[in-house]
Amino acid sequence: MPTTLKYQEKDLKLVGTRPPRPDGVDKVTGRARFGADYNLPGQLIGKVLRSPHAHARIKSIDTAAALALPGVKAVVTRDDFAEMPDEMAAVGELMINFRDVTRNMMAREKALYDGHPVAAVAAVSESVARAALALIKVEFEVLPHVIDVVEAMQPGAPLLHEDQFTVGVKPKPERPSNIAKRLEFGRGDVAAGFAQAEVIVEREFNTKPVHQGYIEPQACLASYSADGQAELWTSTQGHFVFRAQCAKVLQMEVSKIRVTPTEIGGGFGGKNNIYNEALAIALSRKSNRPVKMVMTREEVFRGTGPTPGANVKVKLGCTRDGRITAAQAELNFQAGAFPGSPVNQASMCAFTRYDLANVQVVGNDVTVNRPKVAAYRAPGAPIAVFGVESVVDEMAKKLGIDPIEFRLKNAAKEGTQTYYGPRLGPIGYIQTLEAARAHAHYRAPLGPNQGRGVATGFWFNIGNETTCALNLQEDGTLTLMLGTIDVAGGSRAAMAMMVAEELGIEFERVRPVVGDTAALGFNFLTAGSRSTFASGMASVIAARQVIEKLRARVAKIREVPLEAVAWKDGQARPAEGGGAQFAPMTLAEIAKMAGKTGGTIAGHAEINAQGAGPGFGTHIVDVEVDRETGWIRILRYTVVQDVGKAIHPAYVEGQLQGGAAQGIGWALNEEYFYGDDGVLQNPGFLDYRMPVASDLPYIDTVIVEVPNPNHPYGVRGCGEVPIIAPMAAIANAVENAIGLRLFAQPFSPPRVLKAIEDAAAARD
């Protein structure tokens, strides 16, 4: 069986059109079942007790009074979970250590952030569960805390982990540190490169953590039976990975846990990790009843992972005619309470849009007393690119070169050697720049206090382990069993479209279903913009296998040689020059006879998809700045992106628009506010300010298609690239509007007004 299929250009009937998605009716009628919509008879409600302290040693936990409360059926604490080995695993695009997974799920020695779980209860109702939490007595020894990344890096800062010595520094440091890891990427000689430069720009940027902001809080339902088997329904981006994590922390065999993924109300990377799942299974085990656990919005903010806040330094050197001679960055990323920020990925994405001989990127992964970070759509890249694309913009302006022209002069293209390893294959970066430059947006007139900014983004995209099964039913319809979660509601349709295209049949005859963990072999999470690429690849492999089997079956039924049978437009027909004639057979006719002629016809694939094509995008934004209040209005936004091939253009447009909107929110108003006590002050949607409908204009999209040679339809992942450029694009637009550059995100009105006033004062 092939494990990869190369791109083949061909006439397409279905791929590239816009059929209605198969789960659409359920979602618009309220019939679709998300995590909190599942219930089992006899279920209990589970709730988590969370640390009110940012940093504290847990001296004792007394659960006796809670257990004695009528209606309470089980309580768990750290004593109910085994110590975990020091063992790394991949979770989406971030790596995790199981030692940390269990501690993040339930604190052991210390509470490391406001919101850190310390105990959990299961009771007959929500109000009894809440009353039980109030009866649990925890003795904390409060410790000094640190939440700022630069402060946390200083020697003498409050230390989260006494046994954490910075990895990547030689010789191994003598003293432990909050810097968990230092990494470095590069090529060439930056010192020489800067020496050659005629103009140098060097700037420092600071960003705050932001949350993925999925509207559906985490929700799960666990049912453990006395024979040691557990069923789990949960809203997840990866049911196989959740099964693996639960099995590990609960010391159960993987096959004893069956995870059914519910519909998911947004993830964006934040549902790549378990939070309550293993707690719910453990509570179910102890109480002998199903346990349902649904987070409140406050818990989502206090207890689930944001993306890091960071301190970023960028230095760029150029010749006068606009060629970059050296590029350097230092990325200091908060990891939250446990190591594992996306500083790696951020480093890879910082400069890759440019063809550079001399590059150095140093990254530091720093633990601080905040929730452990989780992936957030192109993890790390928007932060690094905020710095880099701002500096690029400043450099272009200094040199008097148009910002798109500057990027074209230095653009990465096919054959460019990246500084983190691979050489780039065919890519569409230049095409997106040219399309942006040609777009009417780029020429539209601007009024007073209005400005335009451009920025670009790159994401490598991934493939990974993927399986699927395609079964031909008795009536000639097909069921495509998928193992990748359909987070945004477009990929189910895209896979079915590719299968229908392969078979030459109508879209409606292929029913895509996301199976549970018992239905298929391991599938990696839906992350890294991988599902249309990898699951699409697997689906096409399965479809081609089905076609081979159909041909063989028809050859048998019609008693002709295999070479005489061709598959075209949904039918088996005599092949041209195949040497035999026979009456064609439709899929339905073959299917009807399948049982009697050898059995059900099916195809399947188990691959580790390689060759994911990187994605590039160029954004243009117009803003208007109210100089008296510092308020930024987004007037117009255009996203241009190379997606390889848009299987279903409406859902590709949706990814571009949604990612840009998140980037805009990140730029303008989203941030976590902490008090001096390290407690989160805005754990809700009132003061964690995500864009509402009246905050945004229409977001125009331009789809560029430079096929990925490593996918049968040329697909590149598209979901992550669009969130990368907005922060820098908006900062660049503000600079264009009022001559003021912003270095701290978010660009909230008080910050902007202060920057305006400081600049005016400096001038006077």
Which member of 3, 32, 196, 519 binds another protein (CB under 8 A)? 32
Residue 581 touches another protein, criterion: CB under 8 A: no
Residue 268 touching another protein (CB under 8 A): yes
Asked whether position 764 contacts another protein by CB under 8 A, the answer is no
Shorter beta-carbon distance to another protein: residue 628 or 764: 628
Question: Apex CA 629: angle with CA 626 and CA 630, to 5°?
Answer: 65
Whole-angstrom distance, CA of residue 237 vs CA of residue 16: 26
237 binds another protein (CB under 8 A): no
246 CB-side CA count, 13 A: 33
Q: C-beta of 27: minimal distance to another protein in Å?
A: 3
Region near another protein per CB under 8 A, out of 15-23, 96-104, 320-328, 476-484: 15-23
- Determine if 24 is a binding residue for another protein (CB under 8 A): yes
Among 6, 10, 33, 556, binds another protein (CB under 8 A): 33
In b/e form, how buried is each residue of 293-309, taking b as 16+ CB within 10 angstroms?
Answer: bbbeeebbbbbbbbbbb
Candidate list 434, 689, 709, 741; residue touching another protein; CB under 8 A: 689
- Is the CB of 27 or the CB of 568 nearer to another protein? 27
Tell the smallest beta-carbon distance from residue 351 to another protein (Å): 28
Tell me which stretch binds another protein (CB under 8 A): 14-22, 99-107, 308-316, 419-427.
14-22
Considering only residues 170-229, where is the footprint of another protein by CB under 8 A? 212-217
- The distance of closest approach from Cβ of residue 126 to another protein in the complex, given in angstroms and rounded to an integer, is 8
SS3 537: helix
Q: Is 753 in the site for another protein (CB under 8 A)?
A: yes
The answer to whether 661 contacts another protein (rule: CB under 8 A) is yes
Residue 696 to residue 634: CA distance in whole angstroms: 6
Judge contact between 715 and 615, C-beta under 8 A: no
Q: Which window, 25-33, 110-118, 555-563, 565-573, contacts another protein (CB under 8 A)?
A: 25-33
Count residues near another protein (CB under 8 A): 74
Q: Taking CB under 8 A as the rule, does residue 658 contact another protein?
A: yes
**Which range, of 140-148, 198-206, 448-456, 654-662, touches another protein by CB under 8 A?**
654-662
Conformational region of residue 208, where left means phi above 0, alpha means psi within -120 to 50, and beta covers everything else:
beta
**Nearer Cβ to another protein, position 86 or 628?**
628
- The minimum distance between CB 494 and another protein, in angstroms, equals 12
Taking phi over 0 as left and psi of -120 to 50 as alpha, with beta for the rest, 370 belongs to: beta
Scanning residues 247 to 266, which ones bind another protein (CB under 8 A)? 263-266
Rounded least distance, CB 69 to another protein, Å: 14
Q: Other C-beta atoms within 10 Å of 362: how many?
A: 18
Q: Closest Cα to residue 584, out of 565, 561, 562?
A: 565
CB of 306 to another protein, least distance (A): 14
x/- contact string, 270-309, with another protein (CB under 8 A)? ------------------------x-xx------------
Q: Per CB under 8 A, does 43 bind another protein?
A: no
Q: Could you say whether residue 17 binds another protein (CB under 8 A)?
A: no
Within 125-154, which residues bind another protein (CB under 8 A)? 127
Please choose, out of 327-335, 411-419, 440-448, 645-653, the segment that lies near another protein by the rule CB under 8 A: 645-653
Largest Cα–Cα distance of the chain, in whole Å? Answer: 94
Q: Site for another protein (CB under 8 A): which residue of 86, 443, 576, 694?
A: 694
What are the tokens at 544? 């081609």
Read off the amino acid at residue 485. I
For residues 425 and 654, which CB has a smaller minimum distance to another protein in the complex? 654
Start-to-end C-alpha separation, the chain? 73
Which tokens hold the place of 733?
């637009």
Is 759 strand, coil or helix? helix
Query: Which residues does residue 328 pair with via DSSP β-bridges, in sequence order?
Result: 315, 360
Binding another protein (rule: CB under 8 A), the pick from 68, 754, 758, 760 is: 754
SS3 319: coil
Residues facing 489 on adjacent strands: none
Tell me the sheet residues that pair with 568: 571
Instruction: Please identify which residue in 5, 15, 21, 406 interacts with another protein, judged by CB under 8 A.
Output: 21
Cα 422 to chain centroid distance, Å, stands at 22
Q: What's the half-sphere exposure (Cβ side, CA atoms, 13 Å) at 377?
A: 29
Nearer to another protein (CB atom), residue 92 or residue 426:
92
- Tallying the residues shown for the chain, one arrives at 764
| Among residues 691, 707, 712, 717, the one that binds another protein under rule CB under 8 A | 691
Task: Pick between residue 36 and residue 510 the one whose CB is nearest to another protein.
Answer: 36
For residue 411, the cross-strand partners are: 354
Residue type present at position 85: P
The site string for another protein over 668-687 (x = CB under 8 A, - otherwise) reads xx---x-------xx-xxxx
Say whether 39 sits in a helix, a strand or coil.
coil
Instruction: Decide the pairing of beta strands 88-91 and 510-514.
Output: unpaired
Binding mask 698-737 for another protein (x = CB under 8 A): xx--------------------------------------
What residues from 608 to 637 belong to the interface with another protein (CB under 8 A)? 628-631
Binds another protein (CB under 8 A): choice among 696, 741, 743, 744: 696
Integer Cα distance of 479 and 468 in angstroms? 11
Classify residue 211 as exposed, middle or buried by CB count within 10 Å of its CB (0-12, 13-18, 19+).
buried
Binding mask 732-751 for another protein (x = CB under 8 A): ----------------xxx-
Interacting residue with another protein among 521, 654, 741, 744 (CB under 8 A): 654
For residue 561, how many other CB atoms are within 10 A of its CB?
A: 11
Pairing of strands 230-234, 359-367: unpaired
Q: How far apart are CA 693 and CA 57, in angstroms?
A: 44
367 lies in the site for another protein, by CB under 8 A: no
Residue whose CB is less far from another protein, 286 or 751: 751
Q: What is the DSSP string of 654-701?
A: HHHHHHHHHHHHHHHT----B-TTS-BS--STTTS-PPPGGG---EEE
Site for another protein in 447-506 (CB under 8 A): 487-490
Partner residues linked to 316 by β-bridges: 201, 327
Nearest-approach distance from CB 508 to another protein, in angstroms:
14
What is the CA 86 to chain-centroid distance, rounded?
Answer: 25
